[in-house]
């Protein structure tokens, strides 16, 4: 039976899964990425890590937190600076004698995972927003991932919601990421909290956790804290606007929400749905669903494995040059 490896190379950790042709996971493990030590050192450690689990494996898919060119080389990787320009696919192909090697942006891979195995199962037209440290996007339209002219399509996180809006880590202003990253939402909650006096459920959860985070806001909202609920509703409003833009442009049947901020759950989605209905075109909005990702933190690794499986029928192939 065909067996493949899916590897999700993140800024801190690298996750590895081995998948059979039915999509079942036979093995899962992880190693530290140690991006500061450079990509050559990473390739050597990854090869050592996967060698004992390679029996019967014929392909590997890689998901990387980077913009990926069509030839598989990495262009922009804010959390893996030393990997920029490196031919990760080629170097691994030389070290591991698999039939196929494929590399993809991590959110694109996570979306592919959700389309085949998760919340968007069976969809021909899907989009993903991954709300975490940054905001990543993925598009799967007309049955395939949308990669664009130079491989950087679907950067939904850096589309503009308000040209005069708050600064975005990319250097511009008012982008989706400036409203919906974990830091942006946490900052909003901290600013609101500073304006009120006296204890609240939000200040209680903040004190226990030590730092503001979507998890703290979610816990306080769950307790009915008015300020936390307000922050969730406002975040849902911005998410809804981001989704309106995606829906008007791509007419997906499902938009999948992933990343740590998705932990705000259904209250966030409900607020986004209300904005979608208020500000979106009725036809395409009625035809789409906004849902939470199902594959969790393993989504990108599983999607990378799906990419490797696809390499045998050409569906998602980026063959070794």
| Interface with Zn ion (CB under 5 A) | 158, 168, 170, 175
The Cα–Cα gap between 109 and 61 comes to: 9
Residue number, 126 or 135, with CB nearest to Zn ion = 135
Minimal distance, residue 318 CB to Zn ion, in Å: 27
Checking DSSP bridges between strand 13-20 and strand 135-141, what pairing results, if any?
unpaired
- If the CB atoms of residues 172 and 223 are measured against Zn ion, the closer one turns out to be 172
d(CA 248, CA 316): 26
Q: From the CB of 167, what's the least distance to Zn ion, in Å?
A: 9
Give whichever of 163 and 282 is closer to Zn ion, judged by the CB atom: 163
Cβ–Cβ < 8 Å for 317, 102 = yes
Minimum CB distance to Zn ion, residue 133 (Å): 13
Nearer of residues 113 and 137 to Zn ion, judged by Cβ:
137
Secondary structure (DSSP) of 50-66: HGGG-TTEEEEEEEESS
Helix (H) or strand (E) holding 135: strand 135-141
Closer Cβ to Zn ion, 158 or 302, answer by number: 158
For Zn ion, give the closer residue by CB, 93 or 168. 168
Number of helices and strands (H, E) in the chain? 11, 10
DSSP secondary structure of 219-250: HHHHTT-HHHHHHHHHHHHHHHHHHHHHHHHH
Q: How far is the CB of 75 from Zn ion (least distance, A)?
A: 16
Locus of tokens 């998760």: 118
Q: How far is the CB of 175 from Zn ion (least distance, A)?
A: 3
Number of CB atoms found within 10 A of residue 305's CB = 33
Least spacing, CB of residue 168 vs Zn ion, in Å: 3
């Amino acid at each position: 039976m065909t067996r493949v490896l899916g590897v999700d190379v993140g800024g801190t950790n690298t996750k590895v899964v081995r998948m059979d042709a039915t999509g079942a996971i036979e093995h899962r493990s992880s190693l530290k990425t140690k991006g500061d030590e450079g990509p050559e050192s990473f390739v050597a450690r990854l090869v050592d890590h996967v060698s004992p689990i390679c029996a019967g494996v014929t392909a590997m898919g890689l998901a990387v937190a980077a913009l990926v060119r069509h030839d598989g080389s990495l262009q922009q990787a804010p959390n893996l600076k030393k990997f920029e320009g490196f031919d990760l696919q080629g170097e691994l192909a030389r070290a591991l004698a698999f039939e196929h090697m494929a590399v993809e942006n991590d959110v694109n891979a996570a979306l592919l995972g959700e389309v085949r195995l998760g919340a968007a199962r069976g969809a021909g037209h899907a989009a993903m927003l991954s709300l975490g440290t940054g905001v990543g996007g993925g598009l799967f339209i007309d049955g395939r991932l949308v990669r664009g002219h130079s491989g950087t399509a679907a950067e939904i996180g850096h589309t503009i919601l308000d040209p005069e809006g708050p600064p975005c880590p990319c250097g511009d202003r008012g982008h989706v990421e400036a409203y919906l990253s974990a830091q942006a939402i946490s900052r909003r909650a901290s600013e609101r909290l500073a304006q009120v006096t006296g204890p609240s459920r939000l200040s209680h959860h903040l004190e226990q956790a030590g730092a503001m985070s979507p998890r703290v806001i979610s816990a306080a909202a769950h307790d009915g804290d008015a300020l936390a609920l307000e922050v969730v509703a406002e975040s849902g409003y911005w998410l809804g606007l981001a989704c309106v833009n995606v829906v008007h442009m791509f007419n997906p049947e499902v938009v999948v929400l992933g990343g740590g901020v998705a932990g705000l759950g259904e209250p966030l989605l409900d607020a986004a749905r209300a904005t979608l209905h208020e500000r979106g075109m009725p036809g395409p909005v009625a035809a789409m669903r906004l849902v939470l990702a199902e594959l969790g933190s393993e989504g990108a690794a599983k999607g990378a494995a799906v990419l490797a499986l696809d390499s045998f029928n050409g569906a998602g192939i980026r063959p070794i040059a």
